[in-house]
Amino acid sequence: MSEEIPEYIHHYKINGVIGSGAFATVYKAYNPELRRLFAIKCFKKSNLKNSKEEETFQREIDTMAYMDHPGLVKLHNIFEDENNFYLVLDYCAGGELFDYILKKKRLDEHTAALVFKQIVSAISYCHSFGIAHRDLKPENILIDKFPKVMISDFGLCGYLKESTLMSTFVGSPIYTAPECLQNQEYDGRLSDIWSLGVILFGMVTGEHPWKTNNTAIMLKQIYNADFTYPSYLSNDVKELIGSMLKVDPLERKSLENILKNDWFDNEKKSPFSTSMVGKKLLTREEPEVPEIQMSALAEQSRCASKLRFDHNIVSPFTNDFSPRMYQPHLVMKLKCDSPKPLCAKQSVFKKAGTSLSMQRQMSSLSKSAYSFIEL
């Protein structure tokens, strides 16, 4: 047990460390009332030393609370004590897709199609609400129960405003689009599509398309989309990868057209498609995500009918409540006085305010469908 956090965070019993990064440590936790495992992401307040780091943390909270899609890791709860913030998230027992690919060497195209379709669907959903991930890579794709995957780590995501390009370079160079590496203004949605192309290449080959042991050569390859395909790949997957790895962002295939690609017919031939998990993936209703124009993003961002709860977060770093028009911002100040378990049954949430444009729409939702957990 780590000495940095208590054994219990309310009714969540900490069961060990899953992993750690520059800003946070992730723990496995069990809630006996719900009989379910969760991941608790612990941010030390002392590590958030400036407004930029606070913004990164806040951005991750905003996005995970705002989004509701089976292919995205969900935020179920958030607490704070004197030393830390605690984000209660979906627990994905299968670990990272990156490690799975290393273990299996590569995925056959049938299984890769089944997995990649989930990833593209989830990112298409994010884009429809004006959110670009900007750090897509196999390490940020978690396995629930294979082949079910979920995208995580939205700390570097960007909010898209109408007719606005981004200029900040973020993400991992191997998966980053050339326009980002060259410090050009870029559309975060189109840079995500490039990253998806690199991910798919890695899934079906077990390798990167670039020579990563030499930075200068790697950058030159990325700038020119200079790579070769192994001979065992089908022409269909080569065409699909190539349609995403275009140097000119405007030439990259849209997510809508990617999802229509005939290569995805391979998923029906995957051995996992006949499993219980596979059946759910093939038959469940996914949110319809039409290709929309940037002018519609503000309207989409204000639409709460598809979402589980209010989407105007009060930042942990301010007491102000000012809903943002173009990007999510939750309505709750989610705070507890102590991470120890409560004796009396009470809510861990304290309401800070409600946006008139985002009234709670709970009448048609069961209690199990949203994130308010009474302790």
183: left (phi over 0), alpha (psi -120 to 50) or beta: left
**What does DSSP assign to residue 245?**
-
Q: What is the spatial distance between Cα 375 and Cα 9, in angstroms, rounded to a whole number?
A: 11
Cis bond leading into 6, ω under 30°?
Answer: no
User: What is the bridge-based pairing of β-strands 349-351 and 332-334?
Assistant: antiparallel
Secondary structure element (H or E) that encloses residue 19, with its range: strand 12-20
Q: Which helix (H) or strand (E) holds 39?
A: strand 36-44
CB 57 within 8 A of CB 43: yes
So which residues are the catalytic ones?
135
Helix (H, G, I), strand (E, B) or coil at 132: strand
Q: For residues 174 and 350, what is the distance between their CA atoms, to the nearest angstrom?
A: 42
* Residues contacting residue 292 through CB under 8 Å, at least 6 positions apart: 128, 300
Q: How many helices (H) and strands (E) does the chain have?
A: 10, 13
Tell me how many degrees the CA angle 164-166-171 measures, rounded to the nearest 5: 150
Query: Could you tell me which residues come within 8 angstroms of residue 50 by beta carbon, excluding any fewer than 6 positions away?
Result: none
Instruction: Show the tokens assigned to 300.
Output: 């989409």
How far apart CA 286 and CA 70 sit, in angstroms, is: 8
- Is the four-CA dihedral 303, 74, 276, 118 of positive or negative sign? positive
* Coil vs helix vs strand at 157: coil
Q: Are 159 and 167 in contact (CB under 8 A)?
A: no
Give the tokens for residue 39. 């991941």
Residue 41 labeled ligand binder: yes
Residues belonging to the binding site for ATP are 41
